[in-house]
Amino acid sequence: MIEFDAVTKRFDDGTAGVHDLTLSVPRGEVVVLVGPSGCGKTTTMRMVNRMIEPTSGTVRVDGRDVMTVDPADLRRRIGYVIQHIGLFPHRTVAENIATVPGLLGWDKRRIGARVDELLATVGLDAAVRDRYPHQLSGGQRQRAGVARALAADPDIMLMDEPFGAVDPIVRGRLQAEFLRLQQQVCKTIVFVTHDIDEAIRMGDRIAIMSQGGHLEQYATPADVLAAPANEFVVDFLGPERGLKRLALIPVSEAKADPGPVVRPDDDRRRAAEIAEANGTDWVVVVDAGGRLLGWVPVEEVTGRVDDATARPFATLVRATDSLRAALDALVGSHTGVAVRVSDGEYYEGIITRETLTREIM
């Protein structure tokens, strides 16, 4: 648990300060500090481990004012990852990871075991153990940096644009891995970024800050998107707020319609009735076992449904996909709906445009 209590920081040299910030980071959550450059987000983060000291107010970590704790001791208990990683060039990957355990005086065997464990945790091949940082790719360096920050199993991690220096594809992968890793390790994380999409994706809560270190809104990403506190937040969220909200909601949370479902052995009349009842001119064909076969335009059904060739849906969505993926499937389909299936392609229902609108209204 990290608490900022009326924290103000002023600099003489023009570095972005922080103005009367009160905010608490609950244990085990990822709080993303986001805002344009000069909003004091990095300054805020650095006050947690006393890299910067507040001009007034109190920063508490687990209830203790950080100013009463020895800085070196405090920092050894807090993981730290920055954009350019800052791996020590004269040390191998293993030695880099061993940094804080070494400072804490762990014995060699324990450090060695921990290094092996961490390499696996962050997905680094054991072969990189004895390489020097300049021999690694950008993504590997990033992973080594995270492993080093996790080494002494700190409860708290500070991350300043940790994925800023890698290309978009690697970044997407690292973000996904980070979220998966966080589910295992459940650290209290302060994450700094200028990228609102990254903030929405990574944060349990996001703190939107503006020039001069003012906190504009502090809430969950869904709440921020649903109810931006003011004009600044609206501007900062940018266009496509509806899409961003849909991206946060899993398909499982939306109520799927049963849809115009027919069996292969249904006849033309029944197909026409079902389509009409649903206001469509097509039907979904599902076999007796509940498996999705495809869709058929009613006018093509002459005798039985299975006389006509069922057409496959281009994209199917599953419970864990986002409603944004459902929207994508919907706009790319002739039927104008997204079809939800479970593993093994068992039909679960359809998601219509109305379903999506209902979710974000």
Partner 1 sequence: MTLLAQTGRPFPDWQWLTNPRNVERMREAFAQHVELTVLAVVIGLLIAAPLAVAAVRWRRLYTPLLTFTGVLFTIPSLALFVLLIAFANTGLGRTTSLIGLVIYTLLILFRNTAVGLDGVDAEVRESATAMGYTRRQQLWRIELPIALPVIIAGVRIATVTTIGLVTITALIGQGGLGQLFLVGFQRQHSTPLAVGFALSVLLAVIADVGLVRLQRRLTPWSRAEV
Residue ranges binding partner 1 (CB under 8 A): 49, 51, 71-76, 78, 80, 82-92, 99-100, 103, 132, 134-135, 148, 158
Contact assessment for residue 34 and residue 219, using Cβ atoms and an 8 Å cutoff: no
CB closer to partner 1, 9 vs 148? 148
Kindly give, in sequence order, each residue whose CB lies less than 8 Å from that of residue 177, ignoring residues fewer than 6 positions away.
122, 123
Q: How far is the CB of 51 from partner 1 (least distance, A)?
A: 6
CB closer to partner 1, 9 vs 50? 50
Q: How far is the CB of 27 from partner 1 (least distance, A)?
A: 21
Six-digit token pair at 102? 């070494």
Among positive and negative, which fits the CA dihedral 188, 194, 199, 201? negative
Cα 161 to Cα 193: distance, rounded to the nearest angstrom: 5
CB closer to partner 1, 98 vs 308? 98
Question: Radius of gyration (Cα) for the chain, nearest Å?
Answer: 26
**How many helices (DSSP H) and strands (DSSP E) are in the chain?**
14, 16
Q: How far is the CB of 105 from partner 1 (least distance, A)?
A: 12
CB closer to partner 1, 61 vs 338? 61
* Helix, strand, or coil (residue 99): helix
Q: How far is the CB of 76 from partner 1 (least distance, A)?
A: 4
| Amino acid making up residue 169 | I
CB closer to partner 1, 61 vs 283? 61
CB closer to partner 1, 165 vs 272? 165
Q: How far is the CB of 234 from partner 1 (least distance, A)?
A: 34
Q: How far is the CB of 108 from partner 1 (least distance, A)?
A: 17
Instruction: Count CA atoms within 13 Å of residue 349 on its CB side.
Output: 11
CB closer to partner 1, 174 vs 341? 174
Contact assessment for residue 23 and residue 8, using Cβ atoms and an 8 Å cutoff: no
* Helix, strand, or coil (residue 232): helix
Q: How far is the CB of 358 from partner 1 (least distance, A)?
A: 47
Cα 32 to Cα 236: distance, rounded to the nearest angstrom: 14
